[in-house]
Chain A
């Protein structure tokens, strides 16, 4: 007698369906809203130059980090007026996409 398979539950519009859940669905990252206060690498690359220091006051539009990626120098700019709270990387670091480079407060 075959063992009944253990199924998961999927809620579609308030109805609960017993079904197999796919690996892609189970591995999905829950959504977190993006923060203006974190400067995150949008592309994998190498940190070429950090143009600011911890504690420094910065204005919106100011250049913060130069990221060397895809044979180009990519300048990461500031989105808000603030102060540099923490710098997570140093010159020469290789970063993947989505790495927090520095934080503002």
Chain B
């Protein structure tokens, strides 16, 4: 055959497979409000940057009439390209081909690109949209999943791994996203659960819709399985692009620096914390008063709102923020917020991102439900994460830092590198009211005027202990600073700690309170 005929043959073959499951299946996908796998890759990656591999892969299964079925590209698209000029590896399951079900070759393609991403040390993005295991391929499908989960684990902490749930992700398949760093979900499109509504109805007689069981909102607000929530696939892709610009390519690199910028003047750090220490404020306003362009990329915004995590930039450099949120549940630490913070701290530590912690919490949330849910074990995660982290850790105590909360929130004792405190800081073993109950109990009870004595003791305690100076006197706080000086101190701290080196004792790994 002549050369140009062969070239035309290739083009024909390509065109056919590019249609995926065919026009009808594509129509069905659109009718569900979903984009096709190919459209998603094109929207996410920089224009003309996508290089596809394994387009012509075919399955070789024979059972259950599989030998009569031809599945274009075996239902998954893999390749690499760039996002905002940063190289990424990507795979997208194609729901139009056999429901995006995972068979042996399908999983081989995914593991191929995962191996590639790890070898080339670049971020991996997985777009999940699949009905699950291809039943016809039996154990080979299970083997396929196993190989994927193993690689998710081995690559964890070396390359960023991002999961995007743009369709069903059920049964065993959900473990891949759970093992990755960040999970993106879209309202009404993402569905994640281990056992679906049908099984739950049969076994338990409980009726629940897919959306209420494992929809995007459920995972963003209740389970904590998702990190980013959006209302459309469009919005989701913009979020992913934004995330990529904040994080490094792999754990041996630092995130790319950009042009620095001043915070927006409308966020004035002197005017955010109210005079009354029992009144709330939005700690995100404080964050925005400190970071470049007040541009804060919040993570897990809808989950455990009593703690805030996310990325900002200080002098052009990506910085991780952890901050108690007095606006929600008085900023207490509890089971969910401990989980949220601990994982994020470890993410920053894995990827060379300095952590700035803003502290204002009255302690841990009391309650039988908290205790029985294991707040001890979960709270310990935060202590573990901060202690273990060797990236620069900078702490600013804004207001309350009582008891165990003071210790847990990146205190000097967990080896924070710089600890600053505002004049409004109250670093004490407990609040004045609580102290009156315990320390001055006898005096109050034996007094002729218990209420009066109580008031007096509370005031005394407040004057003596509800301030940063006792801690500063012992060097637990490096500097008490005016709010308007904060950015300057933080910028200095970040620059000074650029080349921080800490010797870590050799061990295979510790035992964080999982």
Residues of A bordering B, CB below 8 Å:
7, 10, 12-25, 28-29, 31, 44, 94, 96
Contacts and interface: CB of A to CB of B under 8 A. Distances in A.
A12 B363 contact: yes
A9 to B, nearest CB: 9
B255 interface: no
A13 B400 CA distance: 13
Given A44-B203, A44-B204, A19 B434 contact: no
9 contacts: A12-B363, A12-B434, A13-B433, A14-B431, A14-B437, A17-B326, A20-B328, A23-B221, A24-B222
Contact of A31 (B222, B336, B369): B369
**Residue in A10, A15, A31, A44 whose Cβ sees the most chain B Cβ within 10 Å:** A15
Contacts of A23: 221
A72 B332 CA distance: 42
Sort A-B residue pairs by CB-CB distance and give the 9 closest, nearest first: A13-B434, A17-B330, A14-B433, A31-B368, A12-B362, A15-B433, A19-B330, A15-B431, A44-B204
A21 B330 CA distance: 8
Contact of A10 (B205, B330, B402, B437): B330
Contacts of B431: 12-15
A22 B330 contact: no
B430 interface: yes
Nearest to A31: B368
Contacts of A25: 329, 365
Interface of B: 203-206, 221-222, 278-280, 305-306, 326-332, 336, 362-363, 365-369, 402, 430-434, 436-437
A12 B204 contact: no
A20 B434 contact: no
Contacts of B369: 28-29, 31
Contacts of B434: 12-15
A74 to B, nearest CB: 14
**Residue in B206, B221, B330, B434 whose Cβ sees the most chain A Cβ within 10 Å:** B330
B436 A17 contact: no
B362 A17 contact: yes
A7 B326 CA distance: 12
A29 B327 CA distance: 23
Contacts, number: 75
A20 to B, nearest CB: 5
A20 B366 contact: no
A12 B280 contact: no
Contacts of B362: 12-13, 15, 17
Contact of B432 (A15, A17, A22, A31): A15
B280 A94 contact: no
Nearest to A44: B204
A19 B326 CA distance: 7
A96 B305 contact: no
A10 B430 contact: no
Nearest to B204: A44
A19 B276 CA distance: 13
B329 A20 contact: yes
Contacts of B336: 24
B327 A96 contact: no
B205 A94 contact: yes
A94 to B, nearest CB: 5
Nearest to B331: A19
B363 A19 contact: no
A49 B459 CA distance: 66
B278 A17 contact: yes
Contacts of B280: 7, 17-20
Contact of B430 (A13, A16, A18, A22): A13
B433 A19 contact: no
Given A14-B434, A18-B278, 14 more contacts: A10-B332, A12-B363, A12-B365, A13-B362, A13-B363, A14-B437, A17-B362, A18-B280, A19-B328, A19-B329, A22-B305, A22-B329, A23-B221, A25-B329
B466 to A, nearest CB: 11
Contacts of B305: 20, 22
A10 B222 CA distance: 21
Nearest to A11: B366
Contacts of A24: 222, 336
Contact of B436 (A14, A16, A18, A31): A14
Contacts of A31: 368-369
Contacts of A19: 280, 326-331
Contacts of B368: 31
B433 A20 contact: no
B435 to A, nearest CB: 9
A15 B365 CA distance: 13
**Residue in B278, B326, B332, B402 whose Cβ sees the most chain A Cβ within 10 Å:** B278
